[in-house]
């Protein structure tokens, strides 16, 4: 897509990045710095996959040439999501608020979808570079010399038991956020300053287009085919217009009363049904207890069950090996909406393949944000 209006800001950004970045304006004229992601085929990722466009580039059956992803985790100005550098990302935002800040910008704007996130994660994996990021209180756990610009006057000691506190209302929280895009090139998805920043850590990011209902996996699409139909409504406990993948997240063990740090025994597993709900006693009273964790790369399927290929295409199932220690958190009761990337305290569990499916849409926290995307319609 070529933009005919070349204002000074857009010209400067496009010239500096060789066209990899641009500036888009919403319906009130607010600017956002965006990364242009060109279309690629599934077979470009794995030659055994179909030679079809990745689902991120199919919208309501229409094949599109490129998508525009916020270069930075978003802030909110005038009720609209903006992608701007060197900002404290918007946090304390639930799913519906995040989605609303994006759609308020005008036609084509939307909360980044899981299909779009997956396309970028798979591209990184195929190209042999998984971005580092702020996953260790301002630094990367595997490269402590890599730092972003701190937001608060917290003390970086690399000692989890000696971190400074920030007063946040009546509560005290460990805060390790850094300014958007303030890290080195290795914190961008393509290992250059012109990529997408902070997909590994800093704050979790809500994404649209994926949800669990009592463990069953639903995605954007039509006719049983995954697509990037970002205008699909995402109402509580409503799957009208969504693709039923026929796959569930189940547990490797039956109900369990052993609990440490809110995690119950067993691991998430892909299954054709849900046999073992992940709660300790009663899902109506175990408000925060009853989730399971496994490294994303270690996720397996129940013996005899072959999950649909779309789960790999959408980075819900590992596409192969070499994904690092990125984590997968799952609850398989109630409605659960996805968070991706991890936050500043997750260490090796954060990363571009990290996926959290244990949150209700009402969840809001100091390490939870989002980013917008744009597709011309």
Q: Is the pLDDT of residue 169 over 70?
A: no
Q: Is residue 176 located within the same domain as residue 257?
A: no
Note the pLDDT of residue 254. Answer: 74
- Is 348 a domain residue? yes
Contact (CB, 8 A) for 45 and 123: yes
Q: Is residue 168 located within the same domain as residue 297?
A: no
Q: What is the model's pTM?
A: 0.92
- pLDDT tens digit sequence for 198-232: 999 999 999 999 999 999 999 999 999 999 999 99
Instruction: Considering only residues 138 and 371, tell me which one the structure prediction assigns the higher pLDDT.
Output: 371
What dihedral angle (degrees, nearest 10) is formed by the CA atoms of 335, 339, 344, 345? 40
- Mean pLDDT score of the chain: 89
Q: Is residue 352 located within the same domain as residue 289?
A: yes
Mean pLDDT of 327-331: 95
* Angle, CA of 50, 132 and 260, to the nearest 5°: 95
Q: Is residue 252 located within the same domain as residue 301?
A: yes
Contact (CB, 8 A) for 308 and 245: yes
Domain boundary among 126, 159, 181: 181
**Distance from C-alpha of 81 to C-alpha of 70, rounded to nearest angstrom:** 10
- pLDDT tens digit sequence for 6-17: 689 999 999 999
- Is 219 a domain residue? yes
Range with the poorest average pLDDT among 127-131, 209-213, 255-259, 372-376: 255-259
Instruction: Considering only residues 176 and 77, tell me which one the structure prediction assigns the higher pLDDT.
Output: 77
- Is 284 a domain residue? yes
- Is 225 a domain residue? yes
Q: Is residue 260 located within the same domain as residue 330?
A: yes
Range with the poorest average pLDDT among 161-170, 304-313, 331-340: 161-170
* Strands 355-359 vs 335-340: parallel, antiparallel or unpaired: antiparallel
Could you tell me the CA-to-CA distances from 353 to 117, 140, 174, 315 in Å, in that order?
Answer: 9, 16, 24, 7
Spatial CA neighbour of 287 closest among 255, 267, 259, 262: 262
Q: Is residue 261 located within the same domain as residue 358?
A: yes
Note the pLDDT of residue 19. Answer: 96
Q: Is residue 244 located within the same domain as residue 352?
A: yes
Paired with 113 in beta bridges are: 208
Q: Is residue 252 located within the same domain as residue 355?
A: yes
**Distance from C-alpha of 224 to C-alpha of 35, rounded to nearest angstrom:** 30
**Distance from C-alpha of 112 to C-alpha of 71, rounded to nearest angstrom:** 11
Note the pLDDT of residue 316. Answer: 98
Q: Is residue 220 located within the same domain as residue 352?
A: yes
- Is 297 a domain residue? yes
Q: Is the pLDDT of residue 161 over 50?
A: no
Mean pLDDT of 357-364: 93
Mean pLDDT of 337-342: 98
- Is 89 a domain residue? no
**Distance from C-alpha of 57 to C-alpha of 66, rounded to nearest angstrom:** 7
**Distance from C-alpha of 257 to C-alpha of 238, rounded to nearest angstrom:** 31
Domain boundary among 159, 181, 203: 181
Q: Within a 10 A sphere around the Cβ of 144, how many other Cβ atoms? A: 12
Return the H-helix or E-strand segment holding 10.
helix 8-17
Residues near 104 by beta carbon (within 8 Å), at least 6 away in sequence: 26, 79, 80, 81
Q: Is residue 154 located within the same domain as residue 237?
A: no
Return the H-helix or E-strand segment holding 9.
helix 8-17
CA 100 to chain centre: 17
- Is 268 a domain residue? yes
- pLDDT tens digit sequence for 28-56: 999 999 999 999 999 999 999 999 999 99
What's the structural domain count of the chain? 2
Could you tell me the CA-to-CA distances from 252 to 70, 267, 294, 324 in Å, in that order?
Answer: 38, 5, 11, 22
Residue 168 pLDDT level (bands cut at 50, 70, 90)? very low
Q: Is residue 344 located within the same domain as residue 303?
A: yes
Q: Is residue 249 located within the same domain as residue 170?
A: no
* Domain coverage including residue 248: 211-362
Q: Is the pLDDT of residue 259 over 90?
A: no
Residue 158 pLDDT level (bands cut at 50, 70, 90)? very low
Note the pLDDT of residue 281. Answer: 58
């Amino acid at each position: 897509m070529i933009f005919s209006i070349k204002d000074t800001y857009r010209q400067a950004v496009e010239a500096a990045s060789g066209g990899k970045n641009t500036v888009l304006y919403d319906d009130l004229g607010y600017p956002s710095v965006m990364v242009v992601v060109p279309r690629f085929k599934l077979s470009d990722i794995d030659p055994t996959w179909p030679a079809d466009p990745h689902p991120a580039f199919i919208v309501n059956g229409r094949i599109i040439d490129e998508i525009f992803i916020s270069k930075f985790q978003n802030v909110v100005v005038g009720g609209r999501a903006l992608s701007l550098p060197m900002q404290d990302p918007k946090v304390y935002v639930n799913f519906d608020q995040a989605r609303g800040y994006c759609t308020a910008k005008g036609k084509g704007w939307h909360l980044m979808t899981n299909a779009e996130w997956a396309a970028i994660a798979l591209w990184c994996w195929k190209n042999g570079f998984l971005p580092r990021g702020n996953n260790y209180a301002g630094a990367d756990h595997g490269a402590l010399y890599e730092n972003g610009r701190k937001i608060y006057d917290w003390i970086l000691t690399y000692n989890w038991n000696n971190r400074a506190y920030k007063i946040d209302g009546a509560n005290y929280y460990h805060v390790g956020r850094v300014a958007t895009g303030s890290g080195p090139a290795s914190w961008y998805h393509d290992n250059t300053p012109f990529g997408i920043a902070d997909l590994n850590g800093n704050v979790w990011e809500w994404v649209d287009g994926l949800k669990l209902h009592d463990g069953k996996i639903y995605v954007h699409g039509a006719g049983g085919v995954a697509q990037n139909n970002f205008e699909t409504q995402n109402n509580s406990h409503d799957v009208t217009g969504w693709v039923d993948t026929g796959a569930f997240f189940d547990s490797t063990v039956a109900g369990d009363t052993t609990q440490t740090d809110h995690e119950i025994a067993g691991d998430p597993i892909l299954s054709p049904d849900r046999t073992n709900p992940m709660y300790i006693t009663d899902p109506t009273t175990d408000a925060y207890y009853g989730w399971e964790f496994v490294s994303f790369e270690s996720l397996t399927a129940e013996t005899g069950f072959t999950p649909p290929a779309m789960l790999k295409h959408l980075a819900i199932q590992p596409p192969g090996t070499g994904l690092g220690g990125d984590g997968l958190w799952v609850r398989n009761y109630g409605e659960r909406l996805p968070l991706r990337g991890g936050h500043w305290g997750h260490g090796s569990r954060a990363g571009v393949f990290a996926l959290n499916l244990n949150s209700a849409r009402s969840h809001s926290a100091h390490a939870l944000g989002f980013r917008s995307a744009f597709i011309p319609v």
